[in-house]
Structure 1
Amino acid sequence: MFPWKDRPLKKKLKQMLDHKDIPTFSSEEQSWIAEIRSDVKLKNRNNVSRTEAYWDFYTKHPEMHWALLAHLVSRNAGWNMTDLKGEHLSQLLTAREQTDFFLFLERGNWLIFQDAYPQLLLLDKSIKLNRSLTHLLPAFGVSSFMVPLWDHYIQSDDSSLITRALIVNEQHYIENRVIQNPHYKNTVTDTVLFKLQDLLNMNHILIPYTTPSLKQRKLFGHSVHHFSSLEERIRFGKELYDLLYSIQSRLSQVLEWAKYHPHTGSRKDYWPALYNDVRERVPHKLETPLEKPCNIHGNEARFFSPTLGRAWDDQIAEPAEQEDWFTHLKQLHFLNDNIKRQDGDILPLYCESIEKLEFALVAKKALRKKEEESELN
């Protein structure tokens, strides 16, 4: 549970609500701020560069659990982006729908990085200088909520609490900027397609790992079913974090897999027997759907899953909207660790989603063929 008995921490959080002063910085501090902004901009080019940056930071600071969690979730965001140009969705969605979904995913991925990565870089600099630089957080538009939490982390090394705090912060950060944003509500979150996330295969977070004895690729993970709900996304993040760190031997295998499989955006990264980054099946050709797609054999055509660079161009992002989501102490209840333990058995649900996509695509092709035959007659 959140340490309510830690009155100094709660008092500092209350002070942040009562006094939101405009800070001033020395010339040296302004130089650090400019340096961090430059680094963030460089690494916020696209999903692949963000995902790599999270991993690089984690390898330097493995005590920062959130960086690993962000790396793995960002991999999934990239796979969802390329799915829109992949085997199934490129033929099930219109070009406009594909673009709208991509821009929605890209905006969330970009926003979280530009908010969280400066926090990580300030931590790194604080460690190097052996003094806290949390007073610089407002220079990057970071919520006042995070300042006392980072101070607490620097003093306590409480990896679990700072991870929960970052989960709470980032989901609040994208709530009004993306999820409740009128533009994205009209083009994505209020659409029928978004409500069919199970079918679209976009509600699973997959975490690959390799068993050293059998040298097999395996998956575990978790699913979110009410993405538009802030509370549900926060609970999901905390449960995924708990799942990731629940078995230390498996965590080591996750790290081993991630180390030797750089993120490209293609699902081939974790399942080359099922996916390829070049097209093997003929688009629009009517075929029998694979009823058990996860049991695909080497002599069968694999599903197309392009790399991010082939699927989408880098985007020029609009600046983040300036607002602080932390408005009252009641929001602290999100820091509680009251979660439901997950078993991580994601493979049956994931394979079922692919099977649904197969049948949906074949049905659409059959309908198109019937319409073409009717036009000829």
Structure 2
Amino acid sequence: MLDKLQEAWLSGYKKLRARWLGYINREEIRAVRRELEQMLREHPDPGRIELHALPDEERLLCEEILRETERHNRNNVTRTAAYLALYLRRPELHWAFLAHMVSRNGGYQMTDLKGEWLPRIMKSAETESFFQFLERANYLIFGDAYPQLLLYEKSRERGRPLFHLLPAFGVSRFMRVNWERYWRSGEEQGVTMALVVNEQNFIERRVVQHPDFQGVIGSFEFAAQTYLNLTQVLFPYHPFTATGDSRLPLAGIEVDTFLPLVERIDMGRRLYAILFKNQEVHDGALRWAKETPHTGSRADYWPHLYGKKRKGLPSKRYHPRLDGCALRRRAHPIYSPVLADAWPDVVSPAPAGGQDWCEGTESASELYGTRSPHSFQIGQVVCRTLNLIEKAVAAEAWLDAPRR
């Protein structure tokens, strides 16, 4: 992991790069800083509002939002569907669609742990630890962000802002400032980036830096997953014109490491630019998302390679099946289970815990966007990566298999 000096250098470099590209709105950031400073002065105690202290109408509204959040926060599949449903109702909430597409990737990473390859190179206790790490981050982000989105929706229905109720859900003061600014300005990029900054800060101490997960983060397998680019973030989309190729195009980015906070925020910034600053990607991804229910299996987007059910009995030795980005003749599809077949719901997850992460105005400096890269097609990169992983798995299985 990066030390504090390296993180500061990385953050400074990204801001300087954005300034060169003309994507830092310094006046806007200064205004957010001023309002955040005032919020922190007026509300030095970041404590949660007790529901019983609210007027009946507001209490009932908050209880309804909490019930809806709990209902959808069962597992990755239910969360992912809830994000999309909300975006379809309120398409100005760009973050909801970004969260839907990123959450699909989280589901694929969870089922990879029980799929064709990783169980061959990881022990069952390690796969369980990785799943708990991914599930905890997934659960916490939804539990914090979804009530905010619902409260915005209720504000629109009532024709007045209700963001004074955000503390009832344990939401950071940082987001109250940014929701109130969005209500006045209607500027989607600002509140989207605020939600990106918020979600990553929210899980920083609760998951990434939490003592319970240091063994997972520090393990060799975690590093190997990163180096092998199993953490590529993919946005499948229908192109405007038919290509004659059975494979859906994949937009996205490769993630070298997602551990440093500034890197995770920048990843969200770049993914937002790809999804919302390219009309073909946005419209094609939305069409695909509406037509393709999320199951957690990678067969959702590339059924020519993956299968949701295992074909044949697994052998101790693994024989490669890929030929470039296609299956070899008569080869079984790569097994990629649906989430329900891979992992049960986590029963009675622990509450988020912790205090408001926002203790100063520094995070306002991250509220800038970026251009979409000229090259965001990642399909060929994914193909090369899959072939490398398969060869590594085959070699590992060959070494571990008993000799005859």
TM over 0.5: yes
CA distance in 2, matches of 1:48, 1:252: 22
Deviation at 1:354, TM superposition (A): 1.3
Alignment gaps of 5+ in structure 2: 1-23
Aligned partner of 2:178 in structure 1 is 149
Deviation at 1:343, TM superposition (A): 1.8
Aligned partner of 1:235 in structure 2 is 266
Deviation above 6 Å: which 4+ runs of structure 1? none
Deviation at 1:288, TM superposition (A): 3.6
CA RMSD of superposed structures (Å): 1.9
Q: C-alpha offsets along residues 184-229 of structure 1, whole Å, 9 cap, x if unaligned?
A: 111x111111111245543201100122532752111112212110
Which of these residues, 236, 242, 248, is aligned with residue 208 of structure 1?
Answer: 236
Aligned partner of 2:309 in structure 1 is 278
CA distance in 1, matches of 2:120, 2:342: 14
Q: C-alpha offsets along residues 31-54 of structure 1, whole Å, 9 cap, x if unaligned?
A: 111111111000000000000000
Deviation at 1:365, TM superposition (A): 2.0
Aligned partner of 1:319 in structure 2 is 351
CA distance in 2, matches of 1:5, 1:212: 36
Deviation at 1:19, TM superposition (A): 2.7
Structure 2 counterpart of 1:359, one-letter code = K
Which of these residues, 188, 191, 204, is aligned with residue 219 of structure 2?
Answer: 191
Aligned partner of 2:284 in structure 1 is 253
- In 2, are the aligned partners of 1:281 and 1:302 still within 8 Å (CA)? no
TM-score by length of 1: 0.93
CA distance in 2, matches of 1:199, 1:169: 27
CA distance in 1, matches of 2:118, 2:184: 48
CA distance in 2, matches of 1:5, 1:312: 44
- In 2, are the aligned partners of 1:243 and 1:342 still within 8 Å (CA)? no
Deviation at 1:362, TM superposition (A): 1.2
Q: C-alpha offsets along residues 322-354 of structure 1, whole Å, 9 cap, x if unaligned?
A: 311111112211112257736212123222221
* Pair 1:231–1:340, CA change in 2 (3 A): farther
Structure 1 counterpart of 2:236, one-letter code = P
- In 1, are the aligned partners of 2:318 and 2:398 still within 8 Å (CA)? no
Aligned partner of 1:44 in structure 2 is 73
* Pair 1:124–1:88, CA change in 2 (3 A): same
> Which is worse superposed, 338-347 or 322-331?
338-347
CA distance in 1, matches of 2:28, 2:88: 33
CA distance in 2, matches of 1:254, 1:281: 33
* Pair 1:138–1:193, CA change in 2 (3 A): same
Aligned partner of 1:360 in structure 2 is 392
Which of these residues, 184, 190, 196, is aligned with residue 167 of structure 1?
Answer: 196
- In 1, are the aligned partners of 2:304 and 2:333 still within 8 Å (CA)? yes
CA distance in 1, matches of 2:28, 2:267: 26
Q: Does 2:91 correspond to 1:62?
A: yes
SS at match of 2:119: helix
Aligned partner of 1:17 in structure 2 is 40
Deviation at 1:356, TM superposition (A): 2.1
> Which is worse superposed, 261-270 or 215-224?
215-224
SS at match of 2:337: coil
* Pair 1:158–1:298, CA change in 2 (3 A): farther
Q: C-alpha offsets along residues 17-68 of structure 1, whole Å, 9 cap, x if unaligned?
A: 2232555521211111111111100000000000000000000011111000
Which of these residues, 342, 349, 352, is aligned with residue 381 of structure 2?
Answer: 349
Deviation at 1:295, TM superposition (A): 2.0
* Pair 1:127–1:5, CA change in 2 (3 A): closer
Give the count of matched residue pairs. Answer: 371
- In 2, are the aligned partners of 1:273 and 1:298 still within 8 Å (CA)? no
* Pair 1:298–1:253, CA change in 2 (3 A): farther
Which of these residues, 101, 115, 118, is aligned with residue 130 of structure 2?
Answer: 101
Deviation at 1:15, TM superposition (A): 1.6
Aligned partner of 1:28 in structure 2 is 57
